[in-house]
Structure 1
Amino acid sequence: MIIKKITVIFLLLNFVFINSSYSQKDSDVDRIVLKYPKHFSSTEDLAERIQKDFTSEHDKARAIYSWIAFNVKYDYAVYLNPPRTQGFSYSTEAEKQRKIQQINDKLIEKSFSSQKAVCEGFTALYQHLSGLVGLKSEIIRGDSKIRLADIGRKKLSSNHAWNIVLIDKKWRLIDVTWGQGYYDNSKGKMVNDFTSIYFDTDPEYFFAKHFPDSGSYLGNRLSKEDFLNGPLIYNKTIEGDYKIKAPDSGIVEAKYGDKITFEIKNVSKSDLLFYLNKKNQPVKIQNSKAKRGGIEFDITYDKNISDYITIYLDTFSIVSFKIIPK
């Protein structure tokens, strides 16, 4: 449970894309943080260690992200059976804020000591540690898009939370919950798999999978329809910078015999691309042609294609669309 709903109108935020120099710095930070103890006696001790080892705002923010992602695991049991909302009474606004802070402090301590949390614990811990090392961070609550069924979903829901952190006078997007791993449907459990892609993420990718309750960013109103009706992208899409140019909607209307045109950036004709038919058999894409730094190809819609079509690069999902028969 996130105690205090924070509505942020992002008016003058700027974003700097991750470049090669930052990537190298991030790797250096990660290697140092990997040598840290898995347990510290207090958040203050961890913050002191980070302050000792790093001086720049970027490196401190990255060190917090990496330590949490390396050491705090997603508590799937709590996700399945969330605790009841904790209520309290108060007589003054000061008493109300004091009790909210006490509950939030308890959440942070539990997440830190047990090293298990859901998104509320991850974000509260990230914000807390940021403050201890002199960084400003906020918690953003909103919707997330992670399943095929989310494509074309009718309603937004507040089901996730993430952080923004101020680095060198620019707000950066952080989702340390997703940085630590993912849920594997085939195994029926959480898989610990550190990824750096949710630290200082390109907004184009971030907001394909996140929609803030405030509904705005960079001074522009985000479109709920674009979010809900957009294609579903995956971690490998972000890692490889595989921008999806066509179709421009995640919902494709077609009748049997129609050719659906796809365009993906930063993929070459020599890459192995395929999709699965209704029998879960791979169908290799063989008609691709180079186009503007990527490839373009057609898939003919027929009875062997199911309600969703997912494009794979090698063994990794890249993008999924929902197919609606005309």
Structure 2
Amino acid sequence: MKYLLTLFLLISISVNSQDFAEVDAKVTKYPRFSKVEDLATKIDNDFSKDEEKARAAFFWLAKNIRYNLKEFYNPKQRSIRFSYASEAEKLQKLQAAKNNLVNATFKTKQGVCEEYAQSFKRICDLLGLNSKVIKGYARNTPNEIGIPANTTNHAWNAIQLNEKWIILDATWAAGYEYNGKWIRKFNNYFYNIPKEKIFKTHFPDDSLWVLRFGRMSLSEFYNQPIYGHNFLNSNIELLSPQNGIIKAENGKNIILKFKNLALNSAIIYNFKGYRYAQKPVLKMENGITIVSIPNPKKNSELYLYFNNEVALQFKTK
């Protein structure tokens, strides 16, 4: 008996102790391969260690595949329909569909998170490395705080190296969106994301992956502040508030507390709709830095900048 299957492809949008400078330098000189097999062969010839091969694949993707903002802002439902007579045939056709997606990505040199994740997985398969594509949730703006998404909106990877699983995200490592434009800038934080910080930016849909790295619910994930990538890559720690929705009391300032934040740090803040950013008041108490910000006296969004880069985002009520 034949069955019909429709495959919907997902559309969305640390300080690393290991030094990959030599790997990155070598991969920087690679051509912009149009076939995934050619890239995998080159990596296999140039590197002997699994850690180096994984890094080479990740770095090449982040440096050569451009995020498709047009697809992100105007997503098209992509579906592949096929019939199958057995589980083996179904898996074979599913893999063929994923391979076609990767082949198109290498030809166009662009894609969204699904393309990055499936491409990394395909390279690892060719190199004999054990990797997975993880579907899940990510947040980018304050209006998402406290409002869990109904469906997954992001994809990234896990890879097993030296009998340990590490998490990486080639999409976010490749760059970022700014004022409607894609800014290509490699961010090393997203290669081997620190275990204790994974849930600040990524939440797997599969509960088994959640349990590998801690305990958190989807609602708890969405209730957090939005953490900036460079903030997470520092040793500064937000102690309070842990909730991304700040209920500001009348006549009282908004208070944020940090660990490892120097009093002379370059910090400014702004509320959504305000024309100019301001400097908050900082003071130190028992080794804790207290940041005081005037109450906006209305529902708004608070943006905190460290060294002119967004560090934290909150909703205020």
Shared fold by TM > 0.5? Answer: yes
Structure 1 stretch displaced more, 120-129 or 203-212:
203-212
1:148 is the counterpart of 2:142: yes
- The correspondence of residues 120-159 of structure 1 with structure 2, limited to 5 A, is 120-159=114-153
Q: Deviations over 1:253-292 (max 9, x none)?
A: 1222123321223321111212114523222123322654
Q: Helix, strand or coil for the counterpart of 2:182? A: strand
- The correspondence of residues 30-109 of structure 1 with structure 2, limited to 5 A, is 30-40=24-34, 42-79=35-72, 80-109=74-103
Cα 1:105–1:287 change in 2 (3 A) is: closer
Contact 2:304–2:311 under 8 Å retained in 1: yes
Contact 2:8–2:79 under 8 Å retained in 1: no
Contact 1:257–1:302 under 8 Å retained in 2: no
Give the aligned residue type for 2:279. K
Give the aligned residue type for 2:48. T
Provide the TM-score with structure 1 as the length reference: 0.86
Q: Deviations over 1:24-48 (max 9, x none)?
A: x2222211111111225x3222122
Residue in structure 2 matched with residue 198 of structure 1 by the alignment: 190
Contact 1:3–1:104 under 8 Å retained in 2: no
Which of residues 258, 261, 265 in structure 2 aligns to 1:271? 265
Structure 1 stretch displaced more, 236-245 or 109-118:
236-245
Give the aligned residue type for 1:209. T
CA RMSD of aligned residues (A): 2.3
Aligned-residue offset at 1:19: 4.8
Query: Which blocks of at least 5 consecutive residues in structure 2 are unaligned?
Result: 1-5
Q: Helix, strand or coil for the counterpart of 1:217? A: helix
Cα 1:2–1:69 change in 2 (3 A) is: farther
Which of residues 105, 112, 119 in structure 2 aligns to 1:111? 105
- The correspondence of residues 212-251 of structure 1 with structure 2, limited to 5 A, is 212-215=204-207, 216-218=210-212, 220-251=214-245
Contact 1:269–1:290 under 8 Å retained in 2: no
Residue in structure 1 matched with residue 275 of structure 2 by the alignment: 280
Give the aligned residue type for 1:56. K
Structure 2 CA distance, aligned partners of 1:315 and 1:270?
Answer: 14
Contact 1:44–1:132 under 8 Å retained in 2: yes
Structure 2 CA distance, aligned partners of 1:302 and 1:100?
Answer: 52
Structure 1 CA distance, aligned partners of 2:171 and 2:16?
Answer: 23
Residue in structure 1 matched with residue 3 of structure 2 by the alignment: none
Contact 2:62–2:170 under 8 Å retained in 1: yes
Which of residues 316, 320, 323 in structure 1 aligns to 2:313? 320
Aligned-residue offset at 1:315: 0.8
Residue in structure 2 matched with residue 13 of structure 1 by the alignment: none
Identity of aligned pairs, percent? 29
1:171 is the counterpart of 2:171: no
Q: Helix, strand or coil for the counterpart of 2:190? A: coil
Cα 1:219–1:146 change in 2 (3 A) is: closer
Give the aligned residue type for 1:210. H
Contact 2:28–2:60 under 8 Å retained in 1: yes
Provide the TM-score with structure 2 as the length reference: 0.88
Structure 2 CA distance, aligned partners of 1:116 and 1:72?
Answer: 5
Structure 1 CA distance, aligned partners of 2:61 and 2:296?
Answer: 46
4+ aligned runs moved over 6 Å, structure 1: 1-5
Structure 2 CA distance, aligned partners of 1:297 and 1:318?
Answer: 13
Structure 1 CA distance, aligned partners of 2:8 and 2:286?
Answer: 49
Q: How many residues align?
A: 305
Q: Helix, strand or coil for the counterpart of 1:87? A: strand
Cα 1:49–1:137 change in 2 (3 A) is: same
Contact 2:16–2:192 under 8 Å retained in 1: no
Structure 2 CA distance, aligned partners of 1:228 and 1:74?
Answer: 24
Cα 1:76–1:2 change in 2 (3 A) is: farther
Aligned-residue offset at 1:100: 1.2
Structure 2 CA distance, aligned partners of 1:291 and 1:113?
Answer: 57
Q: Helix, strand or coil for the counterpart of 1:165? A: strand
Query: Which blocks of at least 5 consecutive residues in structure 1 are unaligned?
Result: 6-16
Cα 1:291–1:206 change in 2 (3 A) is: farther
Structure 1 stretch displaced more, 215-224 or 123-132:
215-224
Cα 1:178–1:145 change in 2 (3 A) is: same
